[in-house]
Structure 1
Amino acid sequence: MDFFYYPQPLADLIAAFSRLPGIGPKTAGRLAFYALQHADEATGLSKAISAALKDIRYCSICGNYTDSDPCRICSSPKRNREILCVVEQSRDVVALEKTGEYKGLYHVLHGVLSPMEGIGPEQLNIGGLLSRLEGVSEIVIAVNPTVEGEATALYLARLLKPLQIKVTRIAHGLPVGADLEYADEVTIARALEGRRPL
C-alpha cells in the first residue's frame, strides 16, 4: 500500500494494523478508516488493549496468561494434580478447556523447537516443566502436529521417560465430518495409528 497519499498519523495506523497476523494492507486500511469513523469503538479498543497489557501476566506455575497469580486452573482444588497437559500457547489451553473433558493441570511452553528460527529448549518453558513434576504420574503432550511440534514432542518424551513418568500424546487423525478421499496420507496414517476398539 502506498502511504504517500495519507497523512502521517493515518499511514502509521495502517502500518500498525498491517503488522498484525492475517491482516494485509487493504484490510489494514479498512480497519484504520473504520477506527477514525467510529471513535468511540476505537477508544474502547485502545482501552481494552492497554488494560490487557497492564493486567495480564504469566502464571508463575503453568505459564498461562492470567490476571491473578497463580491462575484459576492452578489454584483450583478440583483439578487432578497427577496429570499435566503440555501445550504450545495459552490459546491451546482455552481450546482444551472448551471440551470440558480434561480435568488435569496445564503447562504452556510458549512455542515449539525450531532450530531454523533459533528456538531451542532454552527459549521454551521447559525448565518450568521439569521443576513441577513431583506427584505427576502422566504428561500429556498436546502440541500441534507440525514438524516442529513433532520434534518438540519427541524431545520432551526423551527428556521425561527416564523419570518414570508416563508420557502420552494426543491422538491425531481425521476430523469429524471429513472425507477419506480428501485427506492427505499423513492424516490417514495417524488416524490408523490412533484407532481404538468400538
Structure 2
Amino acid sequence: MTAKDYTPLARHIQLASASERTGRPELPRTGGERATLTAFLDWHRETFALKCAGVAADRMSEKAVPPSGLSLHGLVRHLAGVERWWFRQHFAGEDLPTLHYSDHAPDQDFEWLDGDVAEALALWRGECEHARRIVAAAPSLDATCRSLVTGKEMSLRFILVDLIAEYARHNGHADLLRERIDGATGF
C-alpha cells in the first residue's frame, strides 16, 4: 500500500478485517443510529477485552508506563465503575453504590489493586451486560436522565457517545500498557 492509498477509509477497512480475525463484531456500515452507536460501543468493549486477554493475573496490576498510575487491572475496575455510573446510576436511576470510588479516595479504581483480577473482569462484563439491557429497553435515544453531579438533562444518545469516547481513550492506554507488558500490539 502506498502513502496515497493509505486513507482513513483504507484504515477503517483494515479495522473491519481485523474484526473478523479477532472475533469482534463487524462494525455496521448502514443501519439506524441506535444499532450503530451500540455496535461501536460493543466493538470498543471487545477491543478492551482483547487487550487484557492472555495477560497473567500478576501482570495485570503492573503500572507499566511510569510515572502513570495506570494498569490494565485499574482500567478494568475503572471501566466497570463507568458502566455502572452512566447506565445504571444515571440513566436507569438505580440506587447502587459507586464502584471503586469514594469522595475520600476518588482514585481507588487505579490505586487499590488488591482484588482478584478475574473477579474484576467478571464485574466489568456484568456491568456491560446490565448496560446493554438498559439501552435495549430504552424507548429511544432521546430518552433522558439528569446528571447526578450537575443536574443537567442528558440523553441516552449523549451517554452512548460519551462511553464510546471513554473506551477509545482507555483502549489507547491499554495498548501502551499491553505493549510494555509483553510486546503485544494491534488488537
Common fold by TM > 0.5:
no
Larger Rg belongs to: 1
Relative to the length of structure 1, the TM-score reads: 0.23
Considering Cα pairs closer than 8 Å and 6+ residues apart, tell me whether 1 or 2 has the greater RCO: 2
The structure that is strand-richer by fraction is: 1
